[in-house]
Amino acid sequence: AKLARNWTPAMPVLRIIGLSGGEMLVEDFPPGTPLAEVARKAADALGTARVYLVARSSILDLNGGNIVEGTNLANGETITAIARPRPLTIIGTKFSKAFAALKPDGSVVAWGDLHSGGDTSLMPASLTGNVIQVAGTSRAFAAVKTDGSVVAWGSDLDGGELGSARTSLEH
């Protein structure tokens, strides 16, 4: 997606344009607006957690309080927002005999001791996507999905079975 900048001395206008060419957001940003705030707006409009902002073939620094005015872009110059993929996240605990990984595509894989949650093959449909967070105990894991539901696996005694809590966690 591209962020088109129309500069005026008083207030630049940010236009977020999707890959289809349609405008997703048009918003005024005063020159003193932090670039991190512009990036948050772009990420929200693009439906992603993080973005890079690129102008004049350089990645804009979103840290350190940098502001819109400091980019020195001329009227009509473009800022491009590039969605940043979620990193691979490995989950394990101090005493765990298994590990789980939350992949950038939202799926989960696990390995290690079968009785400690090291095998997700018993619920492949539940963990193939839309997972946003995974946590573990010494012998079990739980995954939170985008719809708010929770999937647990591993030792029943250590949290691998939701039991009567399943209904309340799915709503």
**Total number of residues shown for the chain:** 171
Residues 115, 80 within the same domain: no
The domain spanning residue 17 has which CATH number? 3.10.20.90
Element (H, E) at 38: helix 35-46
Domain holding 7, by residue range, is: 2-84
- Residues 52 and 117 occupy one common structural domain: no
* Euclidean distance between CA atoms 14 and 33, whole angstroms: 12
Q: Are residues 127 and 142 in the same domain?
A: yes
DSSP assigned state of 165: G
**Spatial separation of the C-alpha atoms in residues 7 and 13, rounded to whole Å:** 7
Instruction: Indicate whether 31 and 65 sit together in one domain.
Output: yes
Dihedral angle computed from the Cα positions of residues 126, 149, 46 and 82, in that order, rounded to the nearest 10 degrees: -50
> How far, in Å, CA of 135 to CA of 150, rounded?
11
Same domain assignment for residues 77 and 95: no
- Residues 27 and 56 grouped into a single domain: yes
pTM exceeds 0.85: no
Amino acid letter at 145?
Answer: K
Distance between CA atoms of 81 and 66, rounded to whole angstroms?
16
Residue 105 and residue 163 share a domain: yes
User: Which one of 84, 99, 134 terminates a domain?
Assistant: 84
Enter the DSSP assignment of 73: P
Do 113 and 145 share a domain, yes or no?
Answer: yes
Residue with tokens 């707006």: 41
Contact 71, 35 (CB under 8 A): yes
pLDDT tens-place string over residues 11-52: 556 667 766 777 777 777 777 889 898 888 888 887 777 788
Q: Are residues 73 and 104 in the same domain?
A: no
Sheet (strand 150-154) strand order = 131-136, 140-145, 150-154
Structural domain tally of the chain?
2
Pairwise CA distance, residues 64 & 76, whole Å: 26
Domain C-terminal end among 48, 65, 84: 84
Q: pLDDT tens digit string along 62-108? A: 887 888 888 877 666 777 888 777 778 888 877 888 999 998 888 89
Q: Which of 84, 101, 120 is the last residue of a domain?
A: 84
Q: Could you tell me which residues come within 8 angstroms of residue 131 by beta carbon, excluding any fewer than 6 positions away?
A: 102, 106, 107, 108, 143, 144, 145, 146, 151
Are residue 37 and residue 110 in the same domain, yes or no?
no
pLDDT of the residue at 162: 64
* Spatial contact of 27 and 41, defined as CB atoms under 8 Å apart: yes
Q: Give the pLDDT of residue 101.
A: 93
Query: Is residue 44 domain-shared with residue 112, that is, in the same domain?
Result: no
166 pLDDT higher than 50:
no
